[in-house]
Amino acid sequence: MDSLQRLRAIRLPFADLLGIDLLSVAEDRVVAAMAVRAELCTAGDVLHGGAAMAFADTLGALGTVANLPDGGRTTTIESKTNFIAAAPLGARLIGEATPVHRGRRTMVWQTRIATEEGRLVALVTQTQMVL
């Protein structure tokens, strides 16, 4: 089973709620899409910042999982988000997470969230603890 199939098989109810569609997974890159739906928006029909952060957190966690030995686990211990532009209702977002550091005890991932047209929405850096 390849990495994409293995990670798609993991039950992630919150990621399902967000509508995250995992597109590709490798040890050094995770790519997924998410549609901006009304239930993920705040005032003004734009994506809620927490939804963007949760999208990025999911990708960073999956990137860490792709680098863990069988049976390994992870949890987020730190996350920082720079919001660059609003994501309007109806937009399709693409998230791309890449590793900054892949250590034995922690991994740091940076996720770039952009519209399908390439407009940067947010840049997220998170630290995952390896359990």
Q: Which residues of the chain have pLDDT under 70?
A: 1-4
Number of domains in the chain: 1
pLDDT, tens only, 81-114: 999 999 999 999 999 999 999 999 999 999 999 9
Which CATH number do you get for residue 19?
A: 3.10.129.10
**Residue 82 structural domain:** 3-130
pTM confidence score = 0.94
Nearest to 109 by CA among 49, 69, 67: 67
